[in-house]
Copies of this chain bind each other. A is one copy, B any other.
Amino acid sequence: MSATLLASLRKLLGEAQVLHDGDLSAWEVDWRKRYRGKALAVIRPASTDQVAQAVTQCAAQGVSIVPQGGNTGLVGGGVPNASGTQIVLSLQRMNRVRAIDADNLTMTVDAGCVLQAVQEAARSAGFWFPLSLAAEGSCTIGGNLATNAGGTQVLRFGNARDLCLGLEVVTPHGDIWHGLSGLRKDNTGYDLRHLMIGSEGTLGIITGATLKLAPQPAASMTAMATCPDLPACVSLLSLARQRLGDALTGFEVMNHVSLALVAQHMPQLRQPLPAAPWSVLLELSDPQSAEHARAQFEALLEAALAQQLIDDAAVAQSVAQSKTMWHLRESIPLAQAEEGLNIKHDVSLPVSRIAAFCAEAQAALTRDIPGSRLVNFGHLGDGNLHFNVQAPVHSDAAAFLAREESRVNTIVYDCVVAHGGSISAEHGVGALKVDELAARKDATALSMMRAVKAALDPQGLMNPGRVIQQR
């Protein structure tokens, strides 16, 4: 049966685009190397019609499909399971920018476009596509939408879903939904776009998208400040929102341990301010001018100093200094990796609960897991923390993880749920959090999710076992 399918896929796509033998690890293993699957084949269609026909062929044979973009996911949602029976459908050959509409502030792209290519195409046309995240050099916009990616500019522009006006999708039946649209208002029925976005390939395959563009700001400016504690960071956020309005496009926090790891493992990176309990990175995107941006930033930081919300601050004086500040923030995950294995959590809380959550969770970890080190940083403006736990200094990190990972997760997630938070803020569910989600999500919501999945994918062939387990 699978031989017949592979033969017909080869006829459809060409020999070279149906990979069956040899080393397929680039598609079978996730980039954190926590999930190592085995595919029946990797197929690489070049057009929406080819995707539709490939899905139709697989559906006829009852063969399940794992859609894949840049394979940069963090929860094992984009690689096949170990059964050797799943087809990986890679969108990477579909990488055209289809159109840019300047007056409408939109662009339409293939799902396989790399995010950075989308950003650059927007910039070349004089616009700004403000989705930005660490993997932007290799992740695809289709994957960003399938997982509703977040990143560093959510504070102002929202998540990936908020930057998308329309979709083209191949359904589990192999039909094409022609939902590309440059409309900002369209109340003609259920919002299938938002249903598809964030469904991680379990309801269909996104093949194209119409994206929102923003005007390029006249000036971008970065500042860093140090705060005595987390409540002061939250107050600084409120003050910055009040005074800068929507020009505040980034607000990142980093605890002392985070920047200490960067200092230890990347000593060549200059840290502009003395070590402090908390450091904040602020980004301002000003439609008016660099002078205006600087004046606004300085007035804000003076007010924050006067209110004792911050102890010290530095405004970047050049693009190079601005890049250095961001580089510090973006180096934390790598510094963590250099330090050794660690336990990552991508959680969100109401901003008003963040300080209490952090205090409680950290106290519980200190009490129950002596020596554990909390690397706490993230997008405070969105209530999103990367609340990562590093093994004690000089310990065997692998042994620590084997022994403590489950207990650490329980401590953190219990505390998240108690404070009205989410156990997956921006990384999704994938394979990693399916059981955790089933245990913790509202039962009615789970049952609605299962009903929707069964309705749209009655054979259960689209990325099965991810997000929710069918009953």
Taking Cβ atoms with an 8 Å cutoff, the residues of A that contact B are: 101-106, 147-148, 150, 154, 156, 158-159, 161-162, 171, 175-179, 181-192, 194-195, 197-199, 203, 215, 217, 234, 238, 241-247, 285-288, 296, 348-353, 379, 382-384, 420-429, 433, 437, 441-442, 444-449, 451-456, 467-468
Within the complex, the shortest CB–CB distance from A444 to chain B, in Å, comes to 4
CA distance A325 to B162 in the complex (A): 31
Which residue of chain B is the closest to A204 with respect to CB atoms?
B448
Given contacts A182-B420, A448-B456, A456-B448, contact A188 B383 (CB under 8 A): no
CA separation between A246 and B153, bound complex, in Å?
Answer: 15
Residue from B161, B244, B352, B422 in contact with A287 in the complex, judged by beta carbons closer than 8 Å? B244
Complex interface: chain B residues within 8 A of A199 (CB)? 190
Can you name 7 A-B residue pairings with CB atoms under 8 Å? A156-B246, A178-B442, A183-B349, A183-B421, A190-B203, A190-B453, A245-B246
Chain B positions within 8 Å of A433 at CB level? 188
Query: Is the pair B184, A348 in contact by a Cβ cutoff of 8 Å?
Result: yes
5 more contacts with CB within 8 A, not counting A102-B352, A103-B351, A171-B448, are: A182-B352, A183-B422, A187-B425, A187-B427, A191-B195
Residues of B within 8 A of A161 (CB): 191, 194
Q: Contact partner of A429 among B183, B187, B382, B421, CB < 8 A?
A: B187
Among A171, A188, A350, A449, the most chain B Cβ lie within 10 Å of the Cβ of A188
Q: Which 8 A-B pairs have the closest CB atoms?
A: A245-B287, A194-B194, A455-B455, A246-B246, A103-B352, A182-B350, A185-B425, A186-B422
Q: Are B189 and A467 in contact (CB under 8 A)?
A: yes
Contacts A179-B445, A287-B245, A445-B192 known; A185 to B348 CB distance under 8 Å? yes
A448 touching B104 by the CB < 8 A rule? Answer: no
Q: Are B425 and A186 closer than 8 Å at their CB atoms?
A: yes
> Which of these, B176, B189, B198, contacts A191 with CB under 8 Å?
B198
Taking CB atoms, residues of chain B closer than 8 Å to A246 are 156, 245-247, 287
How far apart sit A159 and B165, CA to CA, in the bound complex (Å)? 12
- Residues on the B chain within 8 Å of A442, using CB: 177-179
Q: Are B455 and A452 in contact (CB under 8 A)?
A: yes
Residue in chain B with minimal CB distance to A384: B185
Partner of A245, one of B106, B195, B247: B247
Flag if B188 contacts A422 (CB, 8 Å): yes
Work out how many copies of this chain go into the complex.
2
Closest beta carbon of chain B to A257's beta carbon, Å:
23
B189 touches A104 (CB 8 A): no
Give the residues in chain B near A287, CB-CB below 8 Å: 242-247
Chain B residues lying within 8 Å of A183, measured Cβ to Cβ, are 348-350, 383, 420-422, 425
A468→B158 CA distance, assembly (Å):
30
Complex contact A382–B184 (CB within 8 A):
yes
Given contacts A184-B348, A348-B184, A421-B183, contact A191 B194 (CB under 8 A): yes
The answer to whether A190 touches B184, judged by C-beta atoms less than 8 angstroms apart, is no
Q: Is the CB of B147 within 8 A of A187?
A: yes
Across the two chains, which residue of chain B brings its CB closest to A203?
A: B190
A245 vs B106: C-alpha distance in the bound complex, in angstroms? Answer: 16
A185–chain B nearest beta-carbon distance, Å: 4
Contact for A190 among B185, B198, B383, CB less than 8 A = B198
Across the interface, A106 reaches (CB within 8 A) one of B147, B159, B243, B350, namely B350
Tell me whether A467 and B247 are in contact in the complex, defined as CB-CB below 8 angstroms, given that A185-B422, A350-B104 are known contacts.
no
Do A192 and B383 touch (CB < 8 A)?
no
B245 near A217 with CB under 8 A, answer yes
- A293 to chain B minimum Cβ distance, whole angstroms, is 11
A160 nearest in chain B by CB position: B187
In contact, A159 and B185 (Cβ under 8 angstroms): yes
Contact B348 A186 (CB under 8 A): yes
Min distance, Cβ A288 to any Cβ of chain B, angstroms:
8
User: Across the interface, do B245 and A215 meet the contact criterion of CB distance under 8 Å?
Assistant: yes
Q: In the complex, what's the smallest C-beta–C-beta distance from A408 to chain B, in angstroms?
A: 19
Q: Which residues of B contact A194 (CB under 8 A)?
A: 161, 191, 194-195
Chain B residues with CB under 8 A of A446 = 189
Whether A197 and B191, one on each chain, are in contact in the complex, defined by CB atoms closer than 8 angstroms, is yes
Q: What is the distance, in angstroms, from A59's C-beta to the closest C-beta of chain B?
A: 14
Q: How far is the CA of A178 from the CA of B188 in the complex (A)?
A: 26
